[in-house]
Structure 1
Amino acid sequence: MPLSQTPAFVKSWSQVEELMLDSAITPDQLDWLLHLVSSTPKLRKLSLGFYKGDQMFMQLLSAFHTLYKLEELRLKSARVTVNALSSLLLRNSATLHSLSLQHIALGDYEGRWSTVFQNMKGHFPCLQNLVLFWLKQGTYTDGLFIFSMLLKYPVSPGSEVRGPNDCLKYESPQIDSMEDPIRLRYWPIGQSVLGIEYHGKEIDQVLGALVITAGAN
């Protein structure tokens, strides 16, 4: 009997509240990793990183009804469809307060980030920490999401994360008047804004602006 199926391991593993997996998933590991994640009914914090992205893993993971009370979710270097990502997020909408999506590609050819952000609007009462960086849509190599359209005026490239004291003018009046600013993350060369960070309570205003920005990408 594999160690992960022994009564002692199952009992101990069921108490896990935080889990981090950073791996290049091979076909023979798929069922084992899915079993590990699905056997954690008390899981509150989940961090998944893939070297090449594994759309099948994310597709199956999104269907797990045992993942329904995550407080923190971090995905990195993953490839996922709009439906799979939306399902995973919405299943945890009542408890999720921190979300990080970095180097994520939408695997469906016509999948758009505007759909993901629109699906999130009005459903995440606890979400106060949002990190988005290097998002792609359309294909895995093209369709890089540019956040510069959030801004009314171009800004000069500076540090990777601009501080809250920067006087930036946003395209949306709602964004411009928010108490907690959106912080921008730059590609080291050039002026392209490839990511944002937001820490505050006005997440729906941020998502609304992202829907408009995503529609223009």
Structure 2
Amino acid sequence: MASLADLPVEVIEAITDKLNPRDLISLRLSCKEISQKTFHRFGQAYFTTLRTDLTHDNLQRLLSISKHGQLSHFVRKLVIKARDNHLGRGFHWHRLEDGNHSACVDAWLSLGVQLLRDILKGMTKCNSFHIYSYGGLEVYYDWEFLLPSDAVSIILSVIADTGLPIKSFFVDFRNWGAGSVDAKRVQMSLCQRPTFRNAWKSVEELRLELLLTPETFDWAKDLVLQTTSLKKLSLHFDFDHTTSFIGNLVAFPQVFQGLQEFKLGCAHVTVNMLSSILIDSRSNLLVLSFWHVYLQQGTWAALLEQIRRSLPLLESINIEWLKEYSNDEIVHIQFPTLEDNRVIPGTNGRKLELRYKKWKRPKSIWGASYRGRIGMDKALGMLAESAVHT
């Protein structure tokens, strides 16, 4: 009698793609042959992205995965995020300046850093790191705990020590309300080491979501400028110092020439800066997003028209909460005519997705998005024509 185990691997994998986690585990426990035939899908589903709060117990679990001859090869991304507003429980974290809680973690004396270094040596394909902060006030920490800025420093130190090639790096200190990276806890000079610079050249996706400060300005700039293979760049700041930051970047057109995706949020920029970015990235750019962006010179209507003319490959546009200056006042941009006219001509009924401000009456349109190369030219024209001050 034929059984499920007799089916080809491709058919069994197609079945497992439809199962929820609990059912997949139950299926794998049914017999050894099915367990073997579903191993690849199991590894992809549960081990491609691993999460850690840098506690002793969690790093020990990661160490066991790194020593597993098969599972370790599935790991591509490590997400570092506090649990219950705590990082690093279970270790003594030595500091470079003895007695100073705000000093950098000593990467050579701290057993937790040494353990993480060993883990990543076993996970040879892990090349993406996402580091999150958390909301609320930071509680007092001693040598037994870490802050999110410490996690940034630890990852950068491991890269600088090992030369591990990096594909994706994401620092999210904005969404969780903690704001800026603490410069006192991060060794900014790590970015200048030859091993770090060589490893950083391979970065394809870089996302910096944080509050810029004078202490972290050059550090953040170097993280962008030292890339040579960048395809996706997402910069979400908190307005301060952003005009100068973007102005520094556009002086290096090679940063944008290979970009396929560019997202900018919570920033002050001039129309000349964005025009330069559009010109430098016009041969490759597919995705473009602006969120809470203040245009200090020029108009969004004119810039949207330039996007329409300059980016023939664009496949996705998203704009929300745009602002510009008029008569020395900040004015908001709305798109009122799109309410009754958002169908893109010649696309068999495809529509702009509208973004509404709903908490005040009357309801108003504060943004829109469109995906698809077909109709993009007309969609951008409609956005440019509809953009008005409020």
Same fold (TM over 0.5): yes
Amino acid corresponding to residue 144 of structure 1 in structure 2: H
Partner of 1:63: 251
Partner of 1:78: 267
Partner of 2:382: 209
Task: Kindly state the Cα deviation for residue 59 of structure 1 after the two structures are TM-superposed.
Answer: 1.4
The superposition leaves residues 92-151 of structure 1 with CA deviations (integer Å, 9 ceiling, x where unpaired) of 11111111111111123xx21122112222321221111100000116973110012234
| Alpha-carbon distance in 2 for matches of 1:62, 1:209 | 28
Task: Kindly state the Cα deviation for residue 195 of structure 1 after the two structures are TM-superposed.
Answer: 0.7
Query: Unpaired runs of 5+ in structure 1?
Result: 154-168
Partner of 2:290: 101
Query: Unpaired runs of 5+ in structure 2?
Result: 1-187
3-state SS in 1 of match to 2:207? strand
Task: Kindly state the Cα deviation for residue 56 of structure 1 after the two structures are TM-superposed.
Answer: 0.8
* Residue number among 41, 45, 49 corresponding to 2:236 in the alignment: 49
Task: Kindly state the Cα deviation for residue 28 of structure 1 after the two structures are TM-superposed.
Answer: 2.8
Matched ranges for 1:55-204 at <5 A:
55-67=243-255, 68-108=257-297, 111-138=298-325, 142-151=330-339, 153=340, 169-170=341-342, 175-179=344-348, 180-189=350-359, 190=361, 191-201=363-373, 202-204=375-377
Residues 55 and 107, structure 1, Cα contact 8 Å, conserved in 2: no
Of the structure 1 ranges 80-89 and 139-148, higher mean CA displacement relative to structure 2 is found in 139-148
CA RMSD of aligned residues (A): 2.0
Of the structure 1 ranges 1-10 and 129-138, higher mean CA displacement relative to structure 2 is found in 1-10
Amino acid corresponding to residue 347 of structure 2 in structure 1: M
Partner of 2:216: 29
The superposition leaves residues 67-94 of structure 1 with CA deviations (integer Å, 9 ceiling, x where unpaired) of 2111111111111000101111221111
| Alpha-carbon distance in 2 for matches of 1:141, 1:69 | 36
Identity %: 34
| Alpha-carbon distance in 2 for matches of 1:141, 1:24 | 24
Amino acid corresponding to residue 290 of structure 2 in structure 1: L
| Alpha-carbon distance in 1 for matches of 2:331, 2:279 | 25
Give the aligned length.
195
Length-normalised TM-score, structure 2 = 0.47
The superposition leaves residues 9-29 of structure 1 with CA deviations (integer Å, 9 ceiling, x where unpaired) of 001001111101011111232
| Alpha-carbon distance in 1 for matches of 2:264, 2:214 | 20
Residues 278 and 310, structure 2, Cα contact 8 Å, conserved in 1: no
Larger % of helix: which? 2
